[in-house]
């Protein structure tokens, strides 16, 4: 059933995991492929089929593929069993075997975490706002509360928008400079003079500054590869009505 899925992985994460591309899904139209976003306008039963394929690839029942209602916050849910409803948060952590933690993205950073010694995992949805507001550090804190040590934690940023495709306005730049003038290094001038933001470099900086043992980016750009990835920004530029959501997940 999941033979046609494309699953990107990282050697730094020793547990079963994947940054799933849009390949191998049942959705059609603007959602064509593996759309796992229940918040999209796609048919609910089709999204459930797609999520079932992801669960099967991770060898968990569909109800054990856990996601939250993402709101661009620094909030983290510590999971000990199946979730009741969809709590509002942007990251999940657990030390409970048999659960898969997942986040949905379409340009924002999906970040998967693992401490193999303590057997604690995490997953975070980290757009510019959540990253700036501390969702990555909050995920590390929540993992430590379960017995992890941040020096033993590996964090991998999956496919997200790259700097070359992420043009922003001067007000956006100013909010980052107001917080820390050193943030200027995450911006570069574009061909029309507007700044371009390096979201994954900023995410790596926040992770490394927080003392994580290992941090990397898979170096896939969601905007530039329409065959493999959904992109909110690309959809906006194309004038399309909606867009699919990629899923990234890790399980113990």
Separation between Cα atoms, residue 225 and residue 220, nearest integer Å = 8
Task: Count other Cβ atoms within 10 Å, centred on residue 147.
Answer: 12
Average pLDDT over residues 191-215: 95
Residue 104 phi, psi dihedral angles, 5° rounding: -115, 140
pLDDT at 192: 81
For domain 7-162+198-251, which architecture applies? 4-Layer Sandwich (3.60)
- Average pLDDT, rounded, for the chain: 96
- CA 20 vs. chain centroid, Å, equals 11
- In DSSP notation, 102-121 reads EEEESSSEEEEEEETTTTEE
Classify the C-alpha dihedral 163-165-170-176 as positive or negative.
Answer: negative
Average pLDDT over residues 58-78: 97
Digit-coded pLDDT (tens) for 217-240: 999 999 999 999 999 999 999 999
Digit-coded pLDDT (tens) for 5-58: 999 999 999 999 999 999 999 999 999 999 999 989 999 999 999 999 999 999
Domain edges within the chain: 7-162+198-251
Task: Count other Cβ atoms within 10 Å, centred on residue 242.
Answer: 15
3 falls in which pLDDT band (50, 70, 90)? Answer: low
């Amino acid at each position: 059933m999941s033979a046609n899925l494309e699953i990107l992985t990282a050697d730094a994460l020793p547990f079963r995991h994947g940054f799933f591309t849009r390949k191998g899904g049942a959705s059609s139209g603007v959602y064509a492929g593996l759309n796992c976003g229940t918040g999209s306008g796609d048919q609910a039963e089709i999204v459930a089929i797609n999520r079932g394929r992801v669960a099967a690839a991770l060898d968990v029942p569909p109800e054990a593929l856990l996601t939250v209602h993402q709101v661009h916050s620094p909030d983290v849910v510590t999971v000990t069993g199946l979730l009741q409803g969809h709590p509002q948060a942007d990251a999940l952590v657990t030390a409970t075997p048999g659960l898969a933690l997942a986040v949905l993205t379409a340009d924002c950073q999906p970040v998967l975490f693992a401490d193999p010694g303590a057997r604690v995992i995490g997953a975070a949805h980290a757009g510019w706002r959540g990253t700036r507001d501390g969702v990555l550090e909050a995920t590390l804190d929540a993992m430590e509360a379960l017995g992890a040590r941040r020096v033993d934690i590996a964090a991998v940023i999956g496919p997200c928008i790259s700097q070359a495709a992420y043009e922003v306005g001067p007000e956006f730049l100013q909010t980052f400079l107001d917080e820390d003038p050193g943030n200027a290094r995450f911006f570069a001038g574009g061909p029309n003079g507007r700044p371009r933001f390096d979201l994954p470099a900023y995410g790596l900086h926040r992770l490394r500054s927080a003392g994580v043992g290992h941090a990397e980016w898979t170096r896939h750009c969601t905007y530039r590869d329409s065959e493999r990835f959904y992109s909110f920004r690309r959809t906006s530029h194309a004038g399309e009505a909606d867009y699919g959501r990629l899923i990234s997940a890790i399980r113990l």
